[in-house]
Amino acid sequence: MSGSKSKEDDGSSRPAVARITRSSRSTESRDSGPGQYGKQRKKQLHSALTQDLSQMSVSGQGSPTPSEGKQLGQRHDGPALGKCGGGLASVARRMKIGRCRNIVVVAGAGISTPSGIPDFRTPGTGLYANLEAFNIPYPEAIFNVDYFSNDPQPFFSLAKVLYPGSHRPNYIHFFIRMLHHKGLLLRMYTQNIDGLEKLCGIPDDKLVEGHGSFATASCHLCYTPYPSEEAKRAIMSGDIPTCTFCAATVKPDVVFFGEDLPQKYFLHTKDFPKADLLIIMGTSLQIEPFASLVNTVRATVPRLLLNRHPVGPFQRIPLRRGDHMELGDLENTVRKFAEMLGWHDDIVELMKSQEQQCIATVGGRSGTCSEESDSETDSKCSASSCPSN
């Protein structure tokens, strides 16, 4: 989220690849076409609030009917999917015998809905439905840099809802963290800006926050850095933070449509060819270039979709050999997956431990929840529960 961007690579040189901007298949004509608010921006490594949350309404709401699930859940070489067993059990077996040691996770807004972060498009309750009072030309305009420059208030009103701090990581986040502690996570690519991946303890070097985050802020015109806490205080109090250098409006460093993705995103050029398992969860695969990333793993690499609905290449019938789907409530599916792997108790213990630490920290002087160190968690993962080397 639904809402996260690392600055650690900002000073490094970009690999020899074409610049890539964020876009939506469904809004491409609005975001990159002509018109008052359709100009593309050339800003690099900065800001945007997103439709990674909008995809929640696609991947996080509703479920297929039994007949749809039967039709869409068929594989060309196996039983119907969408039920516990089938593809999920097949992938779990591969992991347990050590055939998946470099796992890449691609995640969208659906992984944060169990944390209480609302989606964008549900009629009446979605965040977009509550933007009508601002008379914006179309909902996605709230994430358009040119529109923001003209009227930042709609975005700031929405930012109050999305700012990290009001929500906690859920079981899905901790499952991904457990992948790291088992030594299996090559990288997580998230479309979310809610910061929950970091909050649950996934380290920076394992995380690519492709659509930025609220962790930093800068001027939307000259890109001069601005203290993120000062920006948050201003926005939460209804004020507009302004740049001390050029007096333009400051915004959190989340990637708006048409803006370049963070430098760290380009790690995909080496990660995806190296992956031996791709897990896709909680996404509609509507936002580019993330939607196309799932097609860049080697043809022999298994791909596992955990989602409400079939999306992207998983809508094809029959599925590609090695593709697996588990459709339904994402948190329940991930819990079943963890039980098959024998990780459920470790994840529950990790969640309890961090919650206790959070309570103790908030009761102390800092007022914020700190993350349990990797070494503390690793000590709780018994050798018997980890894959053999």
- Residue 67 makes CB contacts below 8 A (sequence gap 6+) with none
The one catalytic residue in 180, 181, 211, 220 is: 211
Q: Let me know if 173 is a catalytic residue.
A: no
6 and 264 in contact (C-beta within 8 Å)?
A: yes
- Phi, psi (rounded to 5 degrees) for 38: -105, 0
The 3-state DSSP class for residue 325 equals strand
C-alpha span between 253 and 271 (Å, rounded): 24
CA 264 to chain centre: 14
Whole-angstrom distance, CA of residue 139 vs CA of residue 287: 15
Collect all residues with Cβ–Cβ distance below 8 Å to 17 and sequence separation of at least 6: 266, 269
Compute the distance between CA of residue 166 and CA of residue 153 in angstroms, rounded to an integer: 21
Of 1, 4, 12, nearest to 264 by C-alpha is 12
Q: What is the dihedral of CA 207, 121, 169, 283, to 10 degrees?
A: -40
Residues annotated as catalytic are: 211
